[in-house]
A = this chain, B = another copy of it.
């Protein structure tokens, strides 16, 4: 491709267009990474629902695990790859990000999720029309497809039960965010987003039966509003006595609770030197030759 004075045009773009303002470039990265997350995640849910049972639960959970791992990688070196207001909340209470920046992050994430879901809707529009005959329905009938875009409760689940469910699932997430933030745990940076994917899949295999484990206010609210505006109607919001606020509020509570539990039970007490109780003590190890 064209080079001027031996400089590649991408490098020239970088020199010219790189955003120097930290907040601006971080919000752009959060918007984009959360869009990726939800572009993948919406596709996973679309296949699960439109496939009428040909896709197993384990595929949905692995799918969200892949989505989290890859979207976190994408923004890892810019904004930190939070892609979730609940993660941002934990970093706020741990002093890694200011309150103002946190609020901006949450807005960028919600807009990004809505954008990603909208793109995914375009890809699956023919499949959805084939499934519901062109009549959109939020939830509860055999041809409802609203659950592609936002979580809904199982028939037995009260809003109180849903709140507890989201505190539990996001509590696990928040706990491990605090774990990664503790540098004494020495998880290599390149490996952390992979483990985030494992955590997301893990929450799915243990706490997705009640309401599908959204554990992410942005990823749940943004696409829900998009769907409400774009054919599914206000039942997306009003279903079961305005259920929608549960997966928005409860994850924030759960993530902070989980993070503090990690800090109090384990994080504060990690010794600065290696414990002799670990399996292979470091002091005996010669440097690993790869």
A residues sitting closer than 8 Å to B (CB atoms) are 1, 3, 8-10, 13-14, 17-19, 22, 25-26, 28-29, 31-33, 36, 39-44, 46-47, 50-51, 54-63, 66-67, 69-70, 73-81, 91-97, 119-120, 122-127, 129-130, 154-158, 161, 164-165, 168, 172, 175-177, 179-192, 194-195, 197-199, 201-202, 205-210, 261-263, 265-271, 274-282, 284-285, 287-290
Contact = CB atoms under 8 A, between A and B. Distances in A.
A268 B189 contact: no
A183 B281 contact: yes
Nearest to A289: B282
Question: Interface majority SS on A: helix, strand, loop or mixed?
Answer: helix
Given A76-B185, A176-B74, A181-B279, A43 B10 contact: no
Nearest to A206: B43
Contact of A284 (B129, B157, B183): B183
Report the 3 A-B pairs with minimum CB-CB distance, sorted nearest first: A43-B206, A130-B156, A63-B205
B265 A207 contact: no
Contact of A67 (B9, B202, B267): B202
Contacts of A194: 195
